[in-house]
Structures are given as C-alpha cells and as structure tokens.
Structure 1
Amino acid sequence: MAGLRVPIYVIGGGAVTPAGLNARQTLAAIRASLSAYEQHILADPFGQIQTVSRIPSHYSLRHTQNIWLTSMAARAVGEALEKGGVAAGVSALLLVAPEAFRKHPAFAETPAAEFLTGLQARLGESFHPTSRIVGGGAAACIGLLDQAADLLATQEVEQVLLGGVDSLVNDKDIARLSAANRLKAEDNAQGLVPGEGAAVVCLRRAPSRNLPAQCAIHGVGVALEENSVLSENYSQGTALLAACRAAIDGKGPTESDINFIVSNDNGERYSAWEALIGRSRFYRTRRETLPMAYPAMTVGEIGAGAGALTLLIAADSFAKGYAPGRVAMCEAASEAGMRAAALVSARSSSPS
C-alpha cells in the first residue's frame, strides 16, 4: 500500500522515554548515543534480574498499567499539542496502542477503545471527532501517514497529532519474550531490551512563517510480512522491501537520493537478518556508507511508540543540522508482521 499525493510536514512533536521526559531530552540522549538501560528485579520469577529500559517515575503513576500508559501518552500528546499551537478541537489525534495479540495488561480492565476518553479527561481537552486509537504496533503509526494526509486535506483539521504509546516493562510481556528466548541476557547477546515510552509528531499540510517545518514526508509504504518473528520461518525481507519501494513511488526523492536510515530495529537476531536481506535488495545505488540510527540502542524496544520516534529523530536531525544528508528513510516493524517505511527530507521539497 502506498499513499501521500502531496507532501505533509513535521513541525515538531512530543515524547517521553527512559532517555528523557520530553522530546528535547530524548532526542539529545539519542544523538549523544547514551544508554537508558538498567537492571530490573523481576517479581516472577522472583529475584531474577533482567535488563530493561524504564522511565523513572513515582510509584503512584504505575498503580495500574492503564494509568501508566495514560500518563505517558498525556505527556507526549500534551507536548505536541503545545508545540502545534492550535486548539485540540481542530487537531486530530491518531494514537497507536500495543498490538492486540499481546493482550496488554493496560487493557485488561479498560478496553483500548475507551483509552482515548480517559486520555482526553487527563489532558482536559477534546480532540477533533476523527481522533481514534488504533492497534498494530510501531509500523501502524507510519502506516497512518496516508490517513493523516487525508485528514489534513479537509478544512476541519488544522493539524494531526500522530504517535504511539506502549510499555514492554511488565510481567506479562517479559515472561512471553523470555519463554521465546528473545530477551537480551548473558547467554543471548542478540536479544531485545524491554522499554517503554510515548512519541507523537505534529503534522501540517504546509509549513508557516511562524511555525517552520522540520522536514517533509513525501511517501509511505506498508506491507505485511508473513514470516514474522512469531512464525516458524525467518523473514526474507519481502514486506520491508515492498514498503520501501512503495514509499518512493511518487514525485519525491528516489532511492539514489537516500542518505541515511532511521529504524526501530531492536537488536534481535531476527530483526538484523531481515534488515540485511531486505535492504540489500532495495538499495541498489552504490554508496560509500549508509548511516543508520537505531533509537533502541538508547531507549530499548518501546513497541507502538517507536514508529513516531523514528520520524522525530529524522526531523530533529534536519532541523539541527546533524543529518548526514538531506533525505532519509524511516522504517518500522511491528511484532505481528506489519512493515512500514516513510520517505522524508529536509524542508526543501527535493534534495540538493
């Protein structure tokens, strides 16, 4: 699937991660290659130590997983709303929640469909009626860019707040990942580090003089990988390849213009193999180097929040001048198999 008839623009966003309590802190930590990993003592099995990436917080905010996800989402969405500078009523919020198959403990008592109501109550705001909570994980966030563009094409929506919130630092997810030998440990160097966080990008149909764009999004591609990490077979990168090809299927930059990649690869052996195969089939133009940014090296695997974080990193790198070029591909993979890619560039509509 491909989308975006015309470019849309990132003008900022919000975030809360183990590396920072707002977008500025988070992005600075990732830019400095810091690590927010720590040792966490598990309740089950009692006393076992697991490497995680956890947000420092008061215990009352973690009274339930639903309260905790609402708290994270409220901080990131509130920051993005403030950055956008327009009322919530003309802002559509598209927020991605943990994938349904995980049966996240945050929604054990309160259905995911009611999460938006609680979030608006927490913020004291009412977003545009088109706002909604969506499942699908990190890739779903990037996959929603075409719907965000459609909303921005209307006169009722001035901006779209697009993001995700998740936490894998809970007993249920850790036990599930441990049983599959997918956690980073002394006997498994190529495992993931459970993380948590929320990230949101503020999207506009066009930049303004008062609020300049950090980057332009030219294309998006989405595909479904049949051989996900949950299947018995290894991925051959088919869906990643299809998503990247769809993202450049437009009037924007081409494959040869891409200077770097921002990816939610999480350190798993499966993730590395898929990327190696998929990227070697997509990037056919000779390059001396192809720099890649992996935010999971700083914040761990933050699930549904990782898609928007890749866009924030790309936008920040252009805005602050540390990007290794003018065009990037943002990639996101969801655990159940969805793959997505977004082609982004510095503020000018074409690379120089």
Structure 2
Amino acid sequence: MSQSVHIVALGARTVIGLSAETSAAAARAQISRIREHPHLVDRRGEPIRVSLDAELDPGLTSWQRLRKLAVPPLCAVLTKLSSGSDWRAPLELLLALPEPRPGWSDADSQRLAEALARTAPPTGGQLQVFVAERGHAGGLHALAQGAQKIACGAKDLCIIGGVDSYLEPCTLDWLDANRQLVGQGARSGFFPGEGAGFIALASPHALRTLRMPSLAKVRGFHGAQETRLIKTNTECLGEGLAAAISGAVSCLRPQEYVDTIYCDINGERYRSEEWGFALMRTQHAFKDATRYVAPANCWGDVGAASGALLSILAVRAWERSYSRGPLALVWGSSESGLRSSVLLEQARTE
C-alpha cells in the first residue's frame, strides 16, 4: 500500500453493550444475553432462543429495526470525528447489510441506506452511503474497500460498518426450516442475534488534520469466493477462506506471526469444518491457531455486523492492554460464498 491506513474511531451497539467500549468489555468477560424470545416459537412449539436487544421493541421489524440499531453507533463515530477538528468534506460510509433472505429484501437495503444517509455529521456536511457487500464477510469487504481507497490516495477519511438482525419472524421461520437454529432436530445451529458496528479509517494526513491518535493500523486484506456453499450437497474444503487468509497475511515479514484470530464461527458444523480445512493451508502464519475469539456465544450471530464488531474487539484489546500480541487477523464467511480477511496491527505509541 502506498500510504498507511489507520483506525481512528469506533462505534458499536450489541445486545451486551451500547457502545464499542462496553461491548468489548462484556465480550471479554463472556457475558451472554441469549434468552428465549418473548413470544416466538419454533416448529415444535418451543420458544426460540435468541440474542435480543432489550432496549428495542421486540415487535419492531424490517429495516426500521436495523435503523434503530445502526444510528446510535454511527452517530458515536461521527461525533468522535468532529471532536478534534471540523471535517466538512463529504464523508463516505461503506455499509454491509444482510444477504437477501425471507424477511429482508433489496428494497429494505435501499430504504435503510437512504435513512442512514440522513444522519448528518455534527459539523455539517454530507454522508454518502454505499452498500459495499452482504452477509458475514461484508463488513470486512467494506473495510478492505475503504482501506484501498485511502492507501491509493483517493480518500483521506471514510467510515465502514455493518448492521444486521435475524429477529424477523419470516427470517426465524426460514432458519428453523433449514435447521440452523439451536435446538432439537438440528445437528448444528446458532443463536440468532443483532447488532451494529462502525469504524472510521483515516490517512496520515487525516490523522494530523483531525488531531486524533491512531488506534490500529490496517496491514493487509484480501477477499475470495467459495463455490462449495452451505445448504448444498457439496463438501466445503475451505479453499475460499484459505485464499482470503493467505492474501491478507502475505504482507507478513519473516519471523512475524498472527497473535490473535477473530472470526464468525457460530456453532454451525459447516463453519467449523471450513476453518479446519482452511487452517491446514495457512497454519504457518499463526502462533497458535487453536485460540481464536468467536463471540457468537455472547451476542449471538450478528450476520453482516460481524466484520466491524470483530475488528472493534481487536482494537479494544490493544487499547486495554490484554491482547496476546501486536497482530490480529479477522475473517468472515458469507453464505453466498464471499470470504474476507483483514490483518490489523497495534498502533505504535510515540
């Protein structure tokens, strides 16, 4: 990359915290908010166990629910950016949203993007919202897109993020029909969750202008496509994920190894096996690949919000000095086949 890319601001809303700081602290403490849904049941008449935002009306659905999840953390990032200097140039938001599924359509994505575009920065100016990609890997794909624009000099500052919620009746019915819910009759499954995360990326010039410290540095990123997908009769061998990870860690220097892994493993057999196969091809890059961080047991599966939220966990671990080392790899796996991986580095203190 021609110039360095820095993370300068974080914003998050999860079921275990209403900010990036509290969400990361609760995830580290292994606090779980997985509960029975107040009124929805599965095909056997049993309550569905979900990770539900207690501050939101359980009956609020569709893009309006995602807007409620996304606006507070997005405003938190915009406020942090405005605290050091007035940045009046148009800001670009690269957004990851759910993949099309029962309960979520392309029209919902468009409505949400338009609603978030009306979230103006405190100092004025315009927020331009673009849907970068979909699903679990979408947020990391957005981060890679933003980092590439800054690295080549096309942008000095941009925001990336993702928001998702599985707590739509049609979506839960669809998950139940595909045996993806934890419960009787499913060989593997996950707890549906919801959340939103946003990250501001900046160039060295933007760092000086905003008078903000670097929280972390983006060292590498890569994306790939998996053809052996979940819910098909093909056996996944981790080829797409291995390619994404290999590309992201190709910038490692001799004697450099990834210290910590953050991923969206959620309890589904497909994802665990995919990681196992990918690891066979990439284990040379890790100090200890068996010690990965997968917080789905705390905040549930957060879908398109995974990439941003997992990256926030890595940054907060460095800020609070409990990380295992200066290098962290974040990877995500979308159901439609997108695989994305980002290598982050701890910011150096002068």
Q: 2 CA distance for matches of 1:254 and 1:342? A: 19
Residue 326 of structure 1: aligned partner: 326
> Contact (CA 8 Å) 2:97, 2:138: kept in 1 or not?
no
Residue 221 of structure 2: aligned partner: 220
* CA displacement 1:155-191 (0-9 Å, x = unmatched): 7844211011111111122111111111111454731
Residue 193 of structure 2: aligned partner: 195
Residue 126 of structure 2: aligned partner: 127
Residue 81 of structure 1: aligned partner: 78
Distance 1:224 1:312, change over 3 A: same
Deviates more, 1:285-294 or 1:340-349: 285-294
- One-letter amino acid of the counterpart of residue 300, structure 2: G
Q: 2 CA distance for matches of 1:255 and 1:282? A: 15
> Contact (CA 8 Å) 1:7, 1:219: kept in 2 or not?
no
> Contact (CA 8 Å) 2:193, 2:299: kept in 1 or not?
yes
Give secondary structure in 1 for the equivalent of 2:218.
Answer: strand
Deviation at 1:83, TM superposition (A): 2.0
- One-letter amino acid of the counterpart of residue 163, structure 1: G
Give secondary structure in 2 for the equivalent of 1:248.
Answer: helix
Deviation at 1:242, TM superposition (A): 0.2
> Contact (CA 8 Å) 1:222, 1:340: kept in 2 or not?
yes
Q: 2 CA distance for matches of 1:226 and 1:287? A: 29
Distance 1:88 1:80, change over 3 A: farther
Residue 95 of structure 1: aligned partner: 95
Residue 258 of structure 1: aligned partner: 258
Which one of the candidate residues 55, 69, 77 is aligned to 1:57? 55
Matches within 5 A, 1:1-352: 4-40=1-37, 41-42=39-40, 48-59=46-57, 62-85=59-82, 87=87, 89-100=89-100, 102-105=101-104, 107=105, 110-121=107-118, 127-129=126-128, 131-152=129-150, 157-188=155-186, 190-206=188-204, 207-208=207-208, 210-250=211-251, 252-253=252-253, 256-284=256-284, 287=287, 290-348=290-348
- One-letter amino acid of the counterpart of residue 342, structure 2: A
Deviates more, 1:203-212 or 1:188-197: 203-212
Deviation at 1:152, TM superposition (A): 2.8
Aligned length: 340
Deviates more, 1:76-85 or 1:138-147: 138-147
Distance 1:140 1:255, change over 3 A: farther
* CA displacement 1:94-135 (0-9 Å, x = unmatched): 1111112x1544x48x54223222123355876344x31233
Deviates more, 1:187-196 or 1:171-180: 187-196
Q: 1 CA distance for matches of 2:258 and 2:26? A: 24
Distance 1:181 1:114, change over 3 A: closer
Distance 1:254 1:166, change over 3 A: farther
Distance 1:47 1:185, change over 3 A: closer
Deviation at 1:285, TM superposition (A): 6.0
Q: Any stretches of 5+ residues in structure 1 without a counterpart?
A: none
Deviation at 1:247, TM superposition (A): 0.7
Give secondary structure in 1 for the equivalent of 2:192.
Answer: coil
* TM-score, length of structure 1 as denominator length: 0.87
Q: 2 CA distance for matches of 1:214 and 1:229? A: 36
Distance 1:272 1:201, change over 3 A: same
* TM-score, length of structure 2 as denominator length: 0.88
Distance 1:39 1:135, change over 3 A: same
Q: 2 CA distance for matches of 1:42 and 1:327? A: 42
* CA displacement 1:252-294 (0-9 Å, x = unmatched): 5568511110111111111111111111220126846652111
Deviation at 1:88, TM superposition (A): 6.7
Poorly superposed stretches of 4+, deviation over 6 Å: none
- One-letter amino acid of the counterpart of residue 325, structure 1: G
Q: 2 CA distance for matches of 1:331 and 1:185? A: 27
Q: 2 CA distance for matches of 1:127 and 1:237? A: 41
Q: 2 CA distance for matches of 1:76 and 1:285? A: 33
> Contact (CA 8 Å) 1:224, 1:337: kept in 2 or not?
yes
Deviation at 1:39, TM superposition (A): 0.8
Q: Any stretches of 5+ residues in structure 2 without a counterpart?
A: none
Give secondary structure in 1 for the equivalent of 2:136.
Answer: helix
* CA displacement 1:6-25 (0-9 Å, x = unmatched): 43111221111111112111
Q: 2 CA distance for matches of 1:73 and 1:254? A: 40
Q: 2 CA distance for matches of 1:348 and 1:267? A: 35
Q: 2 CA distance for matches of 1:62 and 1:158? A: 40
Deviation at 1:201, TM superposition (A): 1.0
- One-letter amino acid of the counterpart of residue 93, structure 1: L
> Contact (CA 8 Å) 1:260, 1:327: kept in 2 or not?
yes
Q: 2 CA distance for matches of 1:5 and 1:230? A: 41
> Contact (CA 8 Å) 1:291, 1:324: kept in 2 or not?
no
Deviation at 1:49, TM superposition (A): 0.5
RMSD: 2.7
Distance 1:246 1:329, change over 3 A: same
Q: 2 CA distance for matches of 1:9 and 1:123? A: 23
Q: 1 CA distance for matches of 2:24 and 2:327? A: 19
Give secondary structure in 2 for the equivalent of 1:262.
Answer: strand
